[in-house]
């Protein structure tokens, strides 16, 4: 039996997650929700996704020429699980409705951790979340940090993490958001919440983060310093990152790629929608001094959490017993290669 999945909110994350669900053989996409008969609704229809709308908007959509499959309530009624991809904090408001229909729930990182039974990151805590009722896939920044930390933790142990996050100001299509010409202390008080968010998955980790937001829409960049538990050489660390799933170890010098603009250009040339669901670690930056590691990594905020949403469905329904099992399935179906070429 395939798990019936609905995607509530068809924006930046929702449209990508809907595409990813429709590529899996153990789940089926019931449909997606839209509140306005705009380009996003046309996109959903052009992909053959069933469109569900708020009851009071039925007429508006029909007048605009859309054939709708039903109301959002009807979409939820037909589903086993809802992936909530509404703007931050709206998911918590919808939770009572999801519960009314007896649905398992997946929320995104814009929600508070308390919205779900556990925060989730495949490489870190898949097995601990098997069979739960609800999960919160942590944010793009937290997913990026956790991919790195859990990979190195498995190989060498991680004692301590300090990271500075240089965050994109807004997503490419978000014309109303800034900053336009500033670097914003995001927030001015330290540490930033990102380290605390990492701890919702890796309880007890010694981590502190700071963050600034900059006028770019392309990617986030993290400057990370870690202390390993075991001594490792630079070659050991590079080997571990090279072997790791969902990480692209990119040699900036060899590629002639020294900025997020150029990384995105490579992605636009090689990837569907220009998405990079993998974490990009800059090989040249990896510096090892005793047990200390320093590096730069780049996060494509629009797509990095997409594979984790699929794994979260498998965790809730125990469709795969281990993180490796779900990861291999998800990544094969999404065509992830962990390299650009």
Which residues ranging from 249 to 268 are in contact with ligand NAD (CB under 6 A)? none
Question: Does the active-site annotation cover 150?
Answer: no
Q: Which of 29, 24, 76, 72 is nearest to 48 (CA)?
A: 29
Among 5, 7, 9, 224, binds ligand NAD (CB under 6 A): 9
Q: What's the alpha-carbon Rg for the chain, to the nearest Å?
A: 20
- Nearer of residues 34 and 314 to ligand NAD, judged by Cβ: 34
Q: Which of 75, 86, 140, 327 is catalytic?
A: 140
Q: Are 301 and 144 in contact (CB under 8 A)?
A: no
Report the nearest approach of ligand NAD to the CB of residue 309 (Å).
10
- Nearer of residues 78 and 90 to ligand NAD, judged by Cβ: 90
Which residues ranging from 287 to 326 are in contact with ligand NAD (CB under 6 A)? 301-302, 305
- Nearer of residues 32 and 150 to ligand NAD, judged by Cβ: 32
Stated as kind and residue range, the H or E segment containing 250 is: strand 247-250
Among 110, 169, 245, 277, binds ligand NAD (CB under 6 A): 110
Report the nearest approach of ligand NAD to the CB of residue 266 (Å).
20
Q: Is 37 in the site for ligand NAD (CB under 6 A)?
A: no
Among 21, 76, 81, 85, binds ligand NAD (CB under 6 A): 85
Give the C-alpha separation, 247 to 338, whole Å: 6
Strand 184-185 and strand 206-214: pairing?
Answer: antiparallel
Q: Which of 91, 154, 88, 163 is nearest to 122 (CA)?
A: 154
Report the nearest approach of ligand NAD to the CB of residue 72 (Å).
6
Give the C-alpha separation, 108 to 38, whole Å: 23
Which residues ranging from 118 to 157 are in contact with ligand NAD (CB under 6 A)? 139-140
Give the C-alpha separation, 4 to 23, whole Å: 13
Site size toward ligand NAD (CB under 6 A) is: 25
Report the nearest approach of ligand NAD to the CB of residue 246 (Å).
15
Q: Is 109 in the site for ligand NAD (CB under 6 A)?
A: yes
Q: Is 8 in the site for ligand NAD (CB under 6 A)?
A: yes
Q: At 108, phi and psi to the nearest 5?
A: -105, 175
Helix spans in the chain (H): 12-22, 39-46, 58-63, 72-77, 90-100, 122-125, 140-156, 193-199, 234-243, 252-255, 260-270, 306-317, 323-334
**Nearest residue to the partner ligand NAD, using Cβ:** 11
* DSSP, residue by residue, 22-51: HT-SSEEEEEEE-SS-SHHHHHHHHTT--E
Q: Is 197 in the site for ligand NAD (CB under 6 A)?
A: no
Residue-level length of the chain: 341
Among 86, 106, 115, 248, binds ligand NAD (CB under 6 A): 86
Binding site for ligand NAD (CB under 6 A): 8-14, 33, 35, 40, 85-88, 90, 108-111, 139-140, 171, 301-302, 305
The residues that are catalytic are 140
């Amino acid at each position: 039996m395939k798990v019936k999945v609905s995607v509530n909110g068809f924006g930046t994350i929702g449209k990508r997650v809907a595409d990813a669900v429709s590529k899996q053989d153990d789940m089926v996409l019931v449909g997606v929700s839209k509140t306005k008969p705009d380009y996003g609704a046309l996109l959903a229809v052009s992909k053959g996704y069933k469109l569900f709308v708020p009851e009071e908007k039925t007429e508006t959509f029909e007048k605009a020429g859309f054939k709708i499959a039903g109301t959002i309530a009807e979409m939820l009624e037909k589903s086993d699980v809802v992936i909530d991809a509404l703007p931050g904090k709206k998911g918590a408001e919808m939770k009572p409705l999801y519960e009314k229909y007896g649905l398992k729930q997946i929320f995104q990182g814009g929600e508070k951790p308390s919205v779900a039974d556990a925060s989730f990151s495949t490489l870190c805590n898949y097995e601990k979340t098997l069979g739960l009722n609800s999960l919160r896939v942590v944010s793009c920044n937290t997913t990026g940090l956790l991919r790195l930390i859990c990979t190195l933790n498995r190989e060498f142990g991680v004692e301590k993490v300090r990271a500075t996050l240089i965050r994109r100001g807004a997503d490419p299509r978000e014309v109303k958001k800034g900053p336009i010409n500033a670097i914003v202390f995001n927030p001015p008080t330290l540490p930033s919440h990102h380290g605390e968010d990492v701890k919702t998955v890796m309880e007890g980790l010694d981590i502190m983060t700071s963050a600034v937001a900059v006028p770019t829409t392309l990617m986030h960049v993290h400057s990370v310093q870690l202390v390993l538990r075991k001594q490792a050489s630079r070659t050991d660390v590079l080997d571990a990152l090279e072997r790791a799933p969902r990480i692209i170890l990119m040699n900036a010098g060899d590629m002639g790629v020294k900025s997020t603009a150029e990384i995105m250009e490579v992605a636009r040339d090689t990837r569907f929608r220009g998405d990079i669901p993998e974490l990009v670690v800059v090989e040249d930056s990896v510096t090892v001094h005793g047990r200390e590691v320093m590096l730069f990594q780049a996060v494509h905020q629009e797509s990095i959490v997409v594979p984790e949403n699929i794994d979260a469905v498998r965790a809730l329904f125990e469709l795969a017993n281990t993180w490796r099992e779900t990861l291999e399935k998800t990544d094969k179906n999404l065509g992830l290669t962990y390299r650009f070429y």
